Amino acid sequence: MPPTFPDGRLRAAGLSAARIAALRADYDASTPARQQTLRGILASATDETLRTVYEPEGPPPPEPQVPQPVAPTAVPKVAVWADSMGDAMNNDGASLWGGLATALGVETYDGAYGGHTSTEVALYHGGLPVFLTLPNNQIPAGTGQIVIPGIQPTGSYVASQWVSLEGTLAGVPSRLMHNGATNQWLYNRLTAGPVKTIQPEEQWHSTAGSSRAEWAHVFRVGRNNNGGNLTTAEQAIVLRDLTAMVRTIPHGRYIVLPVYNGTNFAAMNTALADRFGPNYYDLRGWMVRHGLAAAGITPTADDTTAVGAGNLPPSLMLDAVHMNTVARRVEATRVAALMAARGWFPTYTPLI
């Protein structure tokens, strides 16, 4: 008699009937090799691990009585707005946006910019209202770059950081750039045209975020503000930038992730939790408690010491700031499971 699906094991672990039924359907549709792998995982995992992975936020949404086909245009998509903590490192391909695309099987948008502050990411996103003053209050006829005094509002910018984004100024398609070598802001229109008189502090428009407003969103910014020294004033800037981006979303399908390290990062995360409530998720805390097990890594003595102190275990770290390849893949799987548990991707069934 062939091995059967371990329904009793999952009931004993406290999983809901709806989740067990979904897992059973996935199991029955799998190849024998994948069924064997799943049985082994379920047999060796603890009850806590099973509940954490398969029902991270409590019972899942009720399964529809009659599954309906979903048109491709209606499939949810995900945009990730982040610094290097959401991007790949060392060309290993293990980015947060890439991991979500793989885990969820949906289109994702790469809004991760290594080295960028929350203000710089918000510039790319377009949610933060930005105002430019051009020399003589005119957009020139040509496409050559001109130096502008700066931009408003002020915020957290890195003098050596290169920023280049496209948008519109007074309806004219344009490029805004920060030269990291000279610490100058530059402007140019994309195509030649007549000189156009504008207002002092004319608003710049970038639509990368608003054009994807109906997507699900993940935000992971703040670590690079003020070189990682998150003073009270800098925390206020992070909150301002995130709030500006979130306000462009006409629904509740977004997640704000914590800062993992740096000076005053814990206070920053408390402020994020207070501001964004249930849309904030303490992924750092989860990685401290469950990251090694989810990655299949046996803790070293240093790992055990770090976890006991509430710190990220060294076996999950690439360096003092960034997670390594396996850890970033675990993070993406965890965030995908969280989104699914909230009903944003109801057809997704996580596999450890």
pLDDT digits (tens, 9 = 90+) for 4-13: 777 777 777 7
The model's pLDDT over 94-112, given as tens digits with 9 standing for 90+, comes to: 788 888 988 888 899 999 8
Find the range with the poorest average confidence among 34-38, 65-69, 213-217: 65-69
The model's pLDDT over 217-241, given as tens digits with 9 standing for 90+, comes to: 999 999 999 899 999 999 999 999 9
pLDDT at 70: 35
Mean model confidence pLDDT for the chain = 84
Q: Residues near 73 by Cβ (< 8 Å), separated by ≥ 6?
A: none
Lookup: tokens for 268: 């920053």
Rg (CA), the chain: 23
Count CB neighbours of 247 within 10 A: 10
Where are the chain's structural domains?
7-54, 72-123+209-341, 130-205
Count CB neighbours of 133 within 10 A: 15
**28 pLDDT above the threshold of 80:** no
Q: What is the mean pLDDT of residues 314-337?
A: 92
Distance, in Å, from the CA atom of 242 to the CA atom of 117, rounded to the nearest integer, reads 11
Architecture of domain 72-123+209-341: 3-Layer(aba) Sandwich (3.40)
pLDDT at 74: 43
What is the pTM assigned to this prediction? 0.76
What percent of the chain is modeled with pLDDT above 70?
A: 84
Q: What are phi and psi of 105, to 5 degrees?
A: 70, 35
What distance, in Å, lies between the first and last C-alpha atoms of the chain?
26
Distance, in Å, from the CA atom of 81 to the CA atom of 66, rounded to the nearest integer, reads 36
Distance, in Å, from the CA atom of 101 to the CA atom of 350, rounded to the nearest integer, reads 13
Q: How confident is the model at residue 33 (pLDDT cuts 50, 70, 90)?
A: low
Q: Which carries the bigger pLDDT value, residue 308 or residue 23?
A: 308
Give the position of tokens 């009793």.
8
The model's pLDDT over 266-323, given as tens digits with 9 standing for 90+, comes to: 999 999 999 999 999 999 999 999 999 999 999 999 999 999 999 999 999 989 888 9
